[in-house]
Amino acid sequence: MERFFGNVRQQPIWDDVVALRNSVFIQEQSLIDFYPEDEEDDDCMHLVYSNNGEVAASSRIRIVDGRGYIERICVKDSYRKQSLGRRLVKDSIDMAFTLGINTATICAQAHLQSFYKSEGFIAESDPIQKFGIKHVEMIKYSDFKERQHIEKR
């Protein structure tokens, strides 16, 4: 499995990333008013896994006011149940913290909340409707002591 981290917007692989997002978020999940690519992609760092030239998984990291937003996390259906999603999330978190971000935020689909909690994320909001399904904003801190303090709230 090959891994690429950077801005892939101008790379040949970009069309395959958009196709994966379309397949997962629009065709499979029927998200409403979701666009597989947007203007924010230009300013994001993207993490892409490919296998023999086939895009298997991707995410993006968007930085706003010192906070890293890990977004557009998706794994091609034929690569699920192989721990690639967990690897993608862990590597996305690591990449965000490597970029100097102190907090990583995910707007998780509500049914995946326990998965993200197992990766150290803490729910920061009640469920909200986003793209026609329930989401929960979750946060993970790079500093262990700060995370412990938040978890005790």
pLDDT given at position 145? 43
The domain that holds 99 is classified in CATH as: 3.40.630.30
Strands 67-75 and 54-64: antiparallel
pLDDT given at position 92? 95
Residue 7 in 3-state DSSP?
coil
Total of domains in the chain: 1
Quote the DSSP letter at residue 32: S
pLDDT given at position 148? 52
pLDDT, averaged in runs of 10, over the chain (153 residues): 88 93 90 86 94 95 92 96 95 92 93 94 93 94 60 54
Domain that holds residue 61: 2-151
